């Protein structure tokens, strides 16, 4: 395994597919709603900000949780506890990516630059929330929800209601499926003084909270489509997204990574196609 593969595995680079498509929806919506001409450089800058921010967040999470991961049989094989990447090297990886994120954001426009440290505070701070609150899933949702608003700010230099609705969609979607994902570690979390919804409210109660969050997600999907007056392609993407959302609540055999990645790509791809048409 070469160094690129090691660090891509450390941050689960493939999971970028969760938030990046929604950032692109925010980006394309900003172009369409303001009549801003398309620029390849700005698109590259938006994607780079997404990649650098996510690398910093995931790298820091792995560094902060290295002892917890080592104690958990499910995560003991991760790069830091397994000795594939040294903790100091992982921390430097975080610092470099965080610095690059702030630098690129500042180059885009003043508001993006000013807000980039705030975004980093949420992205990095999430890693410690499960040590004191069961609502850490919401903070994770907030971290990914930055993407569509950030992309809109990159184009326009301001905030608007439509990308905020899109961010609410991402926040509740991510928090809801993270609750389902956390069921695998519920017993470990309780035994080690860590907090999560499944650890605090096992069984149907935790699942009910996940369903409630995903109902808000569906509401936000509909509100965004109506607010922006989108057409057939958007509503087809919405139907696919909702079906995949519902499937997560009916079977534990599904691969959450695959289902959520497919939901994100299908919804965002058709939303972007509708915006462009």
253-269 average pLDDT score: 84
The most distant pair of C-alpha atoms in the chain lies apart, rounded to whole Å, by 55
pTM reported for the whole predicted model: 0.93
- pLDDT, tens digit, 9 for 90 and up, residues 135-151: 999 999 999 999 999 99
What's the confidence (pLDDT) of residue 252? Answer: 67
| Average pLDDT score over the chain | 93
Question: What proportion of the chain, given as a percentage, has pLDDT over 70?
Answer: 97
Please state the rounded mean pLDDT for residues 259-268: 92
Domain, as residue range, for 253: 3-276
Residue 235 clears pLDDT 90, i.e. is over it = yes
Side-chain-side CA neighbours of 257 within 13 Å: the count stands at 5
- pLDDT tens-digit series, residues 48-79: 999 999 999 999 999 999 999 999 999 999 99
Q: How far apart are CA 74 and CA 169, in angstroms?
A: 30
Report whether 263 contacts 241 (CB < 8 A): yes
**pLDDT mean over 244-265:** 83
Query: pLDDT at residue 2 above 80?
Result: no
Residues of the chain with pLDDT > 90: what percent?
85
Q: Would you put residue 12 in left (φ > 0), alpha (ψ -120 to 50) or beta?
A: left
Report the 10 Å Cβ neighbour count for 87.
Answer: 14
pLDDT, tens digit (0-9, with 9 covering 90-100), for 201-234: 998 999 999 999 999 999 999 999 999 999 999 9
Q: pLDDT for 107-116, tens place per residue?
A: 999 999 999 9
Q: What total number of domains does the chain contain? A: 1
- pLDDT for the residue 5: 86
The domain that holds 38 is classified in CATH as: 1.10.357.140
pLDDT of 16 strictly over 90:
no
Q: In which band, very low, low, confident or very high, does the pLDDT at 274 lie, cut at 50, 70 and 90? A: very high
């Amino acid at each position: 395994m070469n160094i690129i593969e090691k660090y891509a595995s450390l941050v689960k680079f493939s999971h970028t597919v969760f938030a990046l498509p929604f950032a692109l929806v925010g980006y394309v919506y900003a172009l369409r709603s303001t009549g801003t001409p398309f620029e390849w450089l700005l698109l590259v800058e938006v994607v780079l900000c997404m990649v650098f921010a996510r690398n910093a967040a995931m790298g820091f999470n792995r560094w902060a949780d290295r002892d917890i991961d080592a104690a958990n049989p499910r995560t003991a094989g991760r790069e830091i506890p397994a000795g594939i990447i040294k903790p100091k090297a992982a921390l430097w990886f975080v610092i470099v990516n965080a610095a690059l994120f702030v630098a690129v954001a500042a180059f885009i426009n003043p508001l993006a630059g000013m807000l980039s440290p705030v975004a980093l505070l949420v992205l990095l701070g999430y890693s410690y929330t499960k040590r004191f609150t069961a609502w850490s899933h919401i903070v994770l949702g907030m971290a990914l929800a930055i993407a569509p608003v950030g992309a809109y700010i990159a184009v326009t230099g301001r905030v608007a209601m439509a990308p905020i609705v899109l961010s609410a969609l991402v926040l509740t979607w991510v928090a809801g499926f993270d609750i389902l994902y956390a069921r695998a570690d519920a017993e470990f979390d309780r035994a080690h003084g860590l907090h999560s919804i499944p650890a605090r409210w096992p069984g149907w109660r935790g699942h009910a909270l996940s369903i409630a969050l995903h109902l808000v997600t569906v509401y936000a999907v509909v509100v965004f489509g109506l607010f922006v007056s989108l057409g057939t392609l958007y509503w087809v993407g919405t139907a696919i997204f909702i079906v995949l959302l519902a499937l997560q609540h009916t079977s534990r055999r599904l691969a959450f990574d695959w289902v959520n990645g497919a939901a994100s790509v299908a919804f965002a791809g058709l939303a972007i196609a509708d915006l462009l048409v």
